[in-house]
Amino acid sequence: MRRQNPNADHLRVLIVGVALLLCAASAQAAATPIPHGTLEFIAENQWIAPGHTLNLGLHFQLEKGWHVYWVNPGDSGEPPRLTWHLPPGITVGPMEWPTPRRLGTATIADFGYEDAVTLIVPIHAAATLPAKQPVQLTADVKVLVCREMCIPGKAQISLTLPIKHQAAPSDTRTSNLFAAARESLPQPAPGNWKFSLTDTKDSFVLSANIGRQITQAVFFPVAESQIDNAAQQKLAPKPAGFQLTLRKSDQLLNPIERLKGVLVLSADQSYAIDVPVSKPRAAQISEDVEIQLAQFASNRYRTLKEESQK
């Protein structure tokens, strides 16, 4: 009988263990260095299921005092930008941005994130995506990391995930990061909340009826150059809500039809709102009068022309 070599058995176990570790590492990429921090590319599930959506994440871990920017960076800076390189059958959706913080000074206001943040990016796999071999998801990232000064950074991030025609379980190594990111996302405003926005000469006045008095409110606009970011947002509490006066930006050259953004009412309450702009009543009456006068003049001209042709 041939004797087994215990050293060979040990070597085989070691090789299998290393192979398993390598497979796990391919699904979740190691953290990539960026200026004053790291960027980790993660997936919420263990594989891609054709016909379903998979959430990816960009997890930024920053040194103390440094920050990256929100989709609207405020008075300076730029948000992280991605250029995707995806295989056929994989499409990317819009990035989901957690509620930002107000950064900067009394005269310059930036919107962004300190310490750590995870930006969620959904991707959709076509139902016809073949489950032959793992696919590689790659993106080129440009990021601006700032404190008193700003340092641009670049990185290429990549994940390799298998494709399976069955429901994909969550990855326990990343579930906490995705859960924390979702807790910091602005929620849709309740349907029974009523908002209105008045356009005055120098400001927008946001009024809200939400059934209770509000004594703290901060608004972050999604679009740049609509409000003066550094100006004080004047809050007037009301018995059933509030009124918030937002000074217009000096760079706002044309009227806007809607104001979109994030309304923060407390440390753990933020809501995505989209409010149409209405004119003050006096301005609306004046405009109505002008329209009526124009219609009267047009009708009068038509009558005189018809009488002259008789």
pLDDT single digits (tens) 95-118: 999 999 999 887 899 999 999 999
CA 71 to chain centre: 6
Domain boundaries, the chain: 30-185, 188-278
Quote the pLDDT of residue 30: 77
Task: Please give the span between the terminal C-alpha atoms of the chain, in angstroms, as a whole number.
Answer: 127
Closest CA to 229 of 68, 75, 71, 69: 75
Beta carbons within 10 angstroms of residue 310's beta carbon: 4
25-65 pLDDT per residue, tens: 445 567 999 999 999 999 999 999 999 999 999 999 999 99
pLDDT score recorded for residue 105: 81
- Check residue 93 and report its DSSP letter: -
Residue range 122-142, pLDDT digits in tens: 999 999 998 888 999 999 999
Question: What is the Cα–Cα distance from 243 to 19, expressed in whole angstroms?
Answer: 61
Asked if 95 and 250 touch (Cβ cutoff 8 Å), the reply is: no
What is d(CA 226, CA 254) in angstroms, rounded to the nearest whole number? 10
Output the CA angle 282-286-287, nearest 5 degrees.
115
**Per the structure block, which two tokens stand in for 99?**
């509620």
Would 30-185 and 188-278 be classified into the same CATH topology? yes
Burial annotation 172-202 (CB, 10 A radius, 16+ → b, else e): eebeebbeebeeeebeebeeeeebebbbeee
Does residue 15 or residue 156 have the better pLDDT?
A: 156
The pLDDT tens digits for 204-253 are 999 999 999 999 999 999 999 999 999 999 999 999 999 999 999 999 99
- Assess if CATH 2.60.40 describes domain 188-278: yes
Domain 30-185 part of CATH 2.60.40.1250: yes
User: Binning pLDDT at 50, 70 and 90, where does residue 189 land?
Assistant: very high
Q: CB under 8 Å to 1, separation ≥6 — which residues?
A: none
